[in-house]
A and B are shown apart, each in its own frame.
Chain A
Amino acid sequence: MNNFKMLRPENFKEYSIAQKTVSGSKLPFAGGTDALDLLKERILQPDYVVNLKRMADLRGIQEEKNHVRIGATTTIAELAGHPVIREKFPGLQQAAESIATPQIRNMGTVGGNLAQRPRCWYFRGETYHCLKKGGGMCYAYVGLNKYHAILGGGPCFIVHPSDLAPMLIALNATVHLLNAEGKRRKLALKDFFQLPAQNLFSETVLQEGEIITHVDVPIPQAGNKNLYIKFKERETADFALVSVALSLNMRGNTVKSGQVVLGGVAPVPWVVKEAESLLNGARLTEALAEKVAQAVVQRAQPLSQNKYKILLTQNIIKRAFRLITEA
């Protein structure tokens, strides 16, 4: 990694002062499980690394009246083990527990999980000057793309690696941001992510100097069922080949409303828009699952080596519906 200086703000005010008074590129750093890799491979060579872990306001889980607030530097392990999360959002617990290894879950944070960079082996390899790094070609498009996008790809074909994001989007989470000037904004988590066609260089709408402060997850209405299934090539520790986040508001066996969000198949957590109309008022049956699965893959555009993801995605969606029916 390159030589850098460390900034260690204790609170939001110090964060803003640091941003305003210190010039140079800055990398926010919390658990470091992604940032260190990016530094070591010199994908990023910042002048400053900004340690966020000293900012107490960023950490912790609080239950409010209508939502649960999850601080950005809350660790994945804390999230997975929190009683409110386990009670209200089994899908979020499942997503958290599916991530990496216990060691990484103890270090990695919720904010970092949402803002992490893609794991594309060309993006991560210093020697590949790919589109995402300002180069002229997508190496995956012409080369090795077994793990790449089947939906929403082009001109870059990364998949978004987050497990928390699909589930949080399915649960209608809102993400809260703080920018370099100390101004705050909030947006629906689904609008936090952007496709390469919109912005090749950033997977999120975060601006320079802007950080995630927390995520608010509305407490589900009575009758809500949610779950997360992640399929990994290597069960011990891996990113998703395909994952499905499912949140259904049920009345008896009828779906009032619901969301299906996919991981591992697109450059962003992939909201299955077709699902909303298919789900509203439908009875929870195998045929419904089949329809949702069909709707997703009709838009799929596989590359040379990832056609298998189409069938896999269909099967995982159907499995998710089967499991939520049994739940």
Chain B
Amino acid sequence: MSSWKPLDKMTILSHYYPRIEGPEKVSGIARYTYDLQLPGMLYGGILTSNVAAGKIVKVDTTRAKQVPGVRVVLTDIHPTGTIRFAGEEIAAVAATTPQALEEALRNISVEIEKNAFVVSTEDAMKPTAPRVFADRENVRKPRVREEGDVEDAFRKADVVVEAEFRTATQVHACLEVHGSVVHWEGDELIIYDSTQAVHGVRKDVASFLDISPRKVRTVCVHMGGGFGSKLRGGRYTAIAAKLAKAANAPVKLMLTRRQDFESVGNRPDSIQKIKIGATKDGRLIAMDAVSYGSGGISGGARVRLPHVYKIPNWRYVHHDVYTNAGPARPFRAPGSPQAAFSMDQLMDMVAEKLNMDPLELRLKNDPNPTRQKEWRLGAQKIGWQNRNRKPGSDAGPVKRGIGMAASVWMTGGRDTKAMLRIYPDGHVEVRCGTQDIGTGTRTYVASVTAEELGIPLKKVIPLIGDSDYPYSGASGGSTTAPSVAPAIKNTADKAREALTELISDKLGVDADEIQWKNNSIRVQNKTLSWEEACAFIEDEPIEVHGKWTEGLSSAGVAGVQFAQVAVDTETGQIQVERVVAVHDCGLILNRLTTESQINGGIIQGISYALLEERWMDPTTGTMVNANFQNYKIVGSRETPEIEVILYDEAERGVIGIGEPPTIPTAGAIANAVYNAIGVRLFTLPMTPDRVLEALSQQRS
């Protein structure tokens, strides 16, 4: 088994260093898929349905084809002709300018035989609701999971708390919309895609087009956000490829902002009814949970229950509910922020009923030794001891409170390959078919190489984001770092061995007489610099291949967050003032980008807690807030002081941290709100109207 060198020997890894493409990004030089212009490129676009349910009867493209500049109009892009949500593809156009494209799309007339539809989860659950799929009920058969004897445990419980929680549908809202620029070279397809998975897109699009994946190459150099919504190949890419084939020209097809909101993923809503039983000394013994949620025309609304805390007897029954809305896709820790919102509030409710410190209750029921330490550390940093002991007791209209919640994420990584070349001038090129979704992957591909070879970061040229490079999986599930970093280390180790062998050949010495020091090589009582060593390479660079190996990564992280809020009881506004986040991810490859990841997760969590909500119009079945004015995302004024504490566990190797920091934020804020005002919010987002409503109910 391989292992990393000790922390105190590391000169780059586990330190703070900026991401290497930072200057390109902040100066606008970095080119995203949206920015690409190929010679002769056409603009592609899709006409999507603004009807929520129905049957396509007729698509008339006569007028569209007459628009000057239109090159191709396709009408056979919908697989079945049955529309189940507003946002489904009906026709596509490629034209020489964006203006001609828009004009043509508007001049396609579509006749749809409308059907009844339902867009709200609660409405869809009613027996009289229109069916989303004719052959199936809207409420799908439950998935039941159970451990222990739940009924018996509740009989033995000294206290029982019960509540119903609701969370809203959240949309990924990536700053760069989904889309591709495609280009055929003979029968080979090149896709420039805004994606989290260059290899996955190659496979998926090849399958959509019924061609060999060998004939497809996907490239993604920079991408503007995915959060789980760009893990697969898009139908829009296949449509772009068909347009490009028909037009015999490259096509750029980026979805509109509205289409991005409607059709390429969301975090499903949830209705969670949960009952918890505990003993009077504060041990959780029973949970009975039922949840409903809608991933639109897909499933995937399950909440990740039970969350964190050990409960010996539990039952969880989940029903996916179909609605006439766009399908769910994985969204940064699927099912988990919902679970922290409900479960960590229930923890505080149990604590209150037992008259116990919520921190103490958690320490009693949290089986994870790392989190035990993190709870204590976080509590100390936020000043838990100085909290408002009696909820709602602050004088004046603005009241402050502190709350906490837990994080957990279980994945590790594997299955990545890499190729490395050492050039005679000392430059090192690393190729790996992973991609950087903004997390700093490109930077650690370089830094792991530099660390292992003992050379400066700037000597390494990391090449990623291309499906022609050695295989790596999708950047999802927080799997990227534990998949990629070990493969890079393994490849760098092999490169060092190869260089050693070369030098030993050239100098006629045994390989074991060549010793690698930091920044230099000792051989025959001489010290060679890296450049001198590389000079032994003649024309062709050294080329080695490596892969993920055991022992350099692990699976599973803990994590806790504490939030301090100020609630204005006259306006219902919640201001998050401070967040203390304690997270672990094994060996930290780069403290700066890791902290950035955690900051980002928390900000997205605050946005989920306070603002984000997809609104579906009951009359038309369309999304009314498919824009950045009305789909509200937090900005600078909603961003608090964030204190990130990285809990080092270098001995565990590399573990991902993309998802864990967004999990506990909403739960911690909800508990802080209760601590501030003495009223519990059971619905997300906690907007001013809901806070005022809750306060009014308490008064009456």
Contact A143 B611 (CB under 8 A): no
Q: Which of chain B's residues have a CB closer than 8 A to the CB of A291? A: none
**Residue B3 interfacial (CB < 8 Å):** no
Contact B688 A139 (CB under 8 A): no
Main secondary structure of the interface of B (DSSP, over half): loop
Contact B635 A312 (CB under 8 A): no
Contact A119 B570 (CB under 8 A): no
Contact A308 B637 (CB under 8 A): no
Within the assembled complex, what's the spacing in Å between the Cα atoms of A171 and B437? 52
**Residue A256 interfacial (CB < 8 Å):** no
**Residue A47 interfacial (CB < 8 Å):** no
**Residue A234 interfacial (CB < 8 Å):** yes
- B158 smallest CB distance to A (angstroms): 38
Known: A125-B624, A127-B50, A312-B572. A143 touches B617 (CB 8 A): yes
**Residue A128 interfacial (CB < 8 Å):** yes
**Residue B237 interfacial (CB < 8 Å):** no
Q: Which of chain A's residues have a CB closer than 8 A to the CB of B625? A: 121
Q: Which of chain A's residues have a CB closer than 8 A to the CB of B99? A: 3
Residue of A nearest to B691 (CB): A308
Q: Which of chain B's residues have a CB closer than 8 A to the CB of A306? A: 689
**Residue A144 interfacial (CB < 8 Å):** yes
Contact B687 A311 (CB under 8 A): no
Q: Which of chain A's residues have a CB closer than 8 A to the CB of B624? A: 121-122, 125, 143-144
Contact A127 B572 (CB under 8 A): no
Within the assembled complex, what's the spacing in Å between the Cα atoms of A125 and B615? 13
Within the assembled complex, what's the spacing in Å between the Cα atoms of A325 and B552? 66
Which among A143, A234, A305 is the interface contact of B632 at CB below 8 angstroms?
A234
Known: A139-B620, A312-B571, A315-B570. A234 touches B638 (CB 8 A): yes
**Residue A283 interfacial (CB < 8 Å):** no
Q: Which B449-466 residues sit within 8 Å CB-CB of chain A?
A: none
Q: Quick one: CB contact mask for A295-315 with B, threshold 8 Å, 1 for yes? A: 000000000011010011001
Contact A231 B638 (CB under 8 A): no
Residue of B nearest to A126 (CB): B50
Q: Which of chain A's residues have a CB closer than 8 A to the CB of B634? A: 234, 236
Contact A236 B637 (CB under 8 A): yes
**Residue B393 interfacial (CB < 8 Å):** no
Contact B619 A233 (CB under 8 A): no
Q: Quick one: CB contact mask for A137-154 with B, threshold 8 Å, 1 for yes? A: 101001110100000000
Within the assembled complex, what's the spacing in Å between the Cα atoms of A241 and B630? 12
Which among B571, B636, B687 is the interface contact of A315 at CB below 8 angstroms?
B571
**Residue B513 interfacial (CB < 8 Å):** no
Q: Which A29-85 residues sit within 8 Å CB-CB of chain B?
A: none
**Residue A17 interfacial (CB < 8 Å):** no
**Residue A235 interfacial (CB < 8 Å):** yes
- A272 smallest CB distance to B (angstroms): 18
Known: A121-B624, A127-B622. A233 touches B632 (CB 8 A): yes
Within the assembled complex, what's the spacing in Å between the Cα atoms of A305 and B632? 18
**Residue B75 interfacial (CB < 8 Å):** no
Q: Which of chain B's residues have a CB closer than 8 A to the CB of A315? A: 570-571
Q: Quick one: CB contact mask for A104-139 with B, threshold 8 Å, 1 for yes? A: 000000000000000101100101100000000101
Within the assembled complex, what's the spacing in Å between the Cα atoms of A158 and B99? 31
Which among B617, B629, B632, B692 is the interface contact of A144 at CB below 8 angstroms?
B617
- A163 smallest CB distance to B (angstroms): 15
Contact A234 B689 (CB under 8 A): no
Contact B638 A311 (CB under 8 A): no
Within the assembled complex, what's the spacing in Å between the Cα atoms of A311 and B636? 28
Contact A121 B630 (CB under 8 A): yes
**Residue A238 interfacial (CB < 8 Å):** yes
Contact A235 B638 (CB under 8 A): yes
Which among B570, B629, B630, B693 is the interface contact of A308 at CB below 8 angstroms?
B693
**Residue B367 interfacial (CB < 8 Å):** no
Residue of B nearest to A310 (CB): B692
Residue of B nearest to A37 (CB): B629
Contact B692 A125 (CB under 8 A): no
Q: Quick one: CB contact mask for A218-254 with B, threshold 8 Å, 1 for yes? A: 0000000000000101111110010000000000000
**Residue A186 interfacial (CB < 8 Å):** no
**Residue A159 interfacial (CB < 8 Å):** no
Residue of B nearest to A127 (CB): B50
Main secondary structure of the interface of A (DSSP, over half): loop
**Residue A88 interfacial (CB < 8 Å):** no
Q: Which B197-216 residues sit within 8 Å CB-CB of chain A?
A: none
Q: Which of chain A's residues have a CB closer than 8 A to the CB of B622? A: 125, 127
- A109 smallest CB distance to B (angstroms): 19
Size of the B side of the interface (Cβ < 8 Å), in residues, is 29
Q: Which of chain B's residues have a CB closer than 8 A to the CB of A3? A: 99
Contact B630 A311 (CB under 8 A): no
Contact B635 A308 (CB under 8 A): no
Contact A312 B692 (CB under 8 A): yes
**Residue B618 interfacial (CB < 8 Å):** yes
Contact A308 B619 (CB under 8 A): no
Q: Which of chain B's residues have a CB closer than 8 A to the CB of A235? A: 573, 635, 637-638
Within the assembled complex, what's the spacing in Å between the Cα atoms of A121 and B624? 6
**Residue A319 interfacial (CB < 8 Å):** yes
**Residue A178 interfacial (CB < 8 Å):** no
Q: Which of chain A's residues have a CB closer than 8 A to the CB of B620? A: 127-128, 139
**Residue A170 interfacial (CB < 8 Å):** no
Q: Which of chain B's residues have a CB closer than 8 A to the CB of A119? A: 629
Q: Which B625-658 residues sit within 8 Å CB-CB of chain A?
A: 625, 629-630, 632, 634-638
Within the assembled complex, what's the spacing in Å between the Cα atoms of A102 and B630? 19
Q: Which of chain A's residues have a CB closer than 8 A to the CB of B615? A: 121, 144
Indicate the member of B99, B624, B625 with the most A CB atoms within 10 Å: B624
Within the assembled complex, what's the spacing in Å between the Cα atoms of A139 and B620? 9
- B559 smallest CB distance to A (angstroms): 27
Contact A236 B617 (CB under 8 A): no
Which among A125, A139, A233, A311 is the interface contact of B611 at CB below 8 angstroms?
A233
Within the assembled complex, what's the spacing in Å between the Cα atoms of A3 and B103? 10
Contact B617 A139 (CB under 8 A): yes
Within the assembled complex, what's the spacing in Å between the Cα atoms of A45 and B587? 58
- B52 smallest CB distance to A (angstroms): 11
- A72 smallest CB distance to B (angstroms): 24
Residue of B nearest to A137 (CB): B619
Within the assembled complex, what's the spacing in Å between the Cα atoms of A84 and B349? 55
Q: Which of chain A's residues have a CB closer than 8 A to the CB of B524? A: none
**Residue A164 interfacial (CB < 8 Å):** no
Contact B636 A308 (CB under 8 A): no
**Residue A316 interfacial (CB < 8 Å):** yes
Within the assembled complex, what's the spacing in Å between the Cα atoms of A144 and B626? 14
Within the assembled complex, what's the spacing in Å between the Cα atoms of A234 and B615? 17
Which among A146, A234, A305, A316 is the interface contact of B571 at CB below 8 angstroms?
A316
Residue of A nearest to B575 (CB): A235
Contact A311 B692 (CB under 8 A): yes
Contact B692 A308 (CB under 8 A): yes
Contact A234 B696 (CB under 8 A): no
Residue of B nearest to A309 (CB): B689
Residue of A nearest to B611 (CB): A234
Within the assembled complex, what's the spacing in Å between the Cα atoms of A119 and B629? 9
Q: Quick one: CB contact mask for B667-700 with A, threshold 8 Å, 1 for yes? A: 0000000000000000000011100110010000
Q: Which of chain B's residues have a CB closer than 8 A to the CB of A234? A: 611, 632, 634-635, 637-638
Residue of A nearest to B86 (CB): A127
Within the assembled complex, what's the spacing in Å between the Cα atoms of A312 and B570? 7
Which among B50, B618, B632, B696 is the interface contact of A238 at CB below 8 angstroms?
B632
Q: Which of chain B's residues have a CB closer than 8 A to the CB of A316? A: 570-571
Within the assembled complex, what's the spacing in Å between the Cα atoms of A235 and B688? 12
A/B interface sample: 17 pairs, CB < 8 A: A121-B615, A121-B624, A121-B630, A127-B620, A128-B620, A142-B619, A144-B618, A146-B689, A231-B571, A231-B573, A233-B611, A234-B632, A234-B637, A234-B638, A235-B573, A308-B688, A308-B689
Interface residues of A (CB under 8 A from B): 3, 119, 121-122, 125, 127-128, 137, 139, 142-144, 146, 231, 233-238, 241, 305-306, 308, 311-312, 315-316, 318-319
When A and B form their complex, which 4 residue pairs have the shortest distance between CB atoms, in order from nearest? A236-B635, A315-B570, A308-B689, A235-B637
New A-B contacts (6) at CB < 8 Å, excluding given A231-B688, A234-B634, A236-B634? A139-B619, A146-B689, A233-B632, A234-B611, A236-B635, A237-B635
